[in-house]
Amino acid sequence: VVLAEVVAVDIGGTSIKASLVGPRGLPSAPVRLPTPVGGGPAAIVDAVARVVGTLRTPGTGAVGCAVPGVVEPGTGVVRRAANLGIVDDLPLGPVLADRLGLPVTVEHDVRAACRAESELGAARSVGDAVVVVAGTGLAAGLLVGGRVVTGTRGAAGEFGHVPVVPGGEPCACGQRGCAEAYASAGGLRRRYRDRSGPDRSGPAPSAPGPTAAELVSRLDDDPLARALWAEACVALGRALVATTALLDPAVIVLAGGLSLAGPLLADPVRAALADGLAWREPPPVVLSAFGDRAGVVGAGLVARDPLRTAERRVVSRCG
Ligand SMILES: [Zn+2]
């Protein structure tokens, strides 16, 4: 049985990335468009339906969506996705399936990325791994005993809200000192903006602050960028100390937009992790095989789940 092509969509807090994925699971270069966060859930559904429409071919058999939020397993209902402005249940899978006439599977973006690394990427052939996705926000996919952990309420892997600075900066989640407040593109942008106004006692400057890529490009000649990046790497390393103590992973994979910095991220994070572990060797810290495309690759894998189920039904009927 030949597996069809699928369309994979990673709906991020900043951009939507979509690719046509062939039978081997590797996506074409993604189409990127800004996420219409201000337009509410309907605008996001429209944008996804439109981009799938431009990519699909007559051979397209299914669609997979990766979403940064709480996804009800098996139903395609997004319970909550703060970075997308979704605060009430949104039946994203059923609504898109209706519009597109294709099966649509929805998965938490970080669990999708974890699956991508586990099946095709940097965590292949290991049963225990941590896949950190540092983008607009910060989370981690936890592979334990060969399975991606979901938790009781689908909220496992909220790595970004591990407190790493006692009494530290406020986080959007309501806690203080969370890793995400320091080691995410959103956190870096906010911290840079708060510290760089012409008069820091005055009102906050209106400029949105640099993107992660802009900040990294300034590391050589901007002391503030350098200081905030170093703090981000230490925060990430501290959160990984806690994770390593709890899970003893074979490998830690760094993915998401921040991982595009390469060794500028991996080297200081490795050092911070080693610094925090007195009693054991740190697990290896490697860069994602897919960078900021791990979510798209994972969405392509979950898209195939209903096709595989249908295939098994055909096989068992024939057998
Ligand atoms: Zn938090």
Question: What average pLDDT does range 138-148 have in this prediction?
Answer: 95
Tokens of 124: 């292949």
Percent of the chain with pLDDT over 90: 75
On average, the pLDDT of the chain sits at 91
Q: Per residue in 191-241, pLDDT tens?
A: 999 998 765 544 455 578 899 999 999 999 999 999 999 999 999 999 999
pLDDT of 2 > 90? The answer is no
Pairwise CA distance, residues 187 & 179, whole Å: 9
Q: How far is the CA of 169 from the centre of ligand 1 (A)?
A: 10
Q: How far is the CA of 166 from the centre of ligand 1 (A)?
A: 12
Predicted pLDDT of residue 284: 98
Q: How far is the CA of 165 from the centre of ligand 1 (A)?
A: 11
Predicted pLDDT of residue 45: 96
Q: Per residue in 245-290, pLDDT tens?
A: 999 999 999 999 999 999 999 999 999 999 999 999 999 999 998 9
pLDDT of 318 > 60? The answer is no
Predicted pLDDT of residue 1: 47
Q: How far is the CA of 307 from the centre of ligand 1 (A)?
A: 37
Q: How far is the CA of 157 from the centre of ligand 1 (A)?
A: 12
Question: What average pLDDT does range 175-182 have in this prediction?
Answer: 97
Q: How far is the CA of 256 from the centre of ligand 1 (A)?
A: 18
pLDDT of 319 > 70? The answer is no
Q: How far is the CA of 255 from the centre of ligand 1 (A)?
A: 19
* Confidence band, pLDDT 50/70/90 cuts, at residue 57: very high
Q: How far is the CA of 134 from the centre of ligand 1 (A)?
A: 14
pLDDT of 113 > 50? The answer is yes
Q: How far is the CA of 238 from the centre of ligand 1 (A)?
A: 15
pLDDT of 86 > 90? The answer is no
Q: How far is the CA of 161 from the centre of ligand 1 (A)?
A: 4
Pairing of strands 147-148, 138-144: antiparallel
Q: How far is the CA of 115 from the centre of ligand 1 (A)?
A: 24
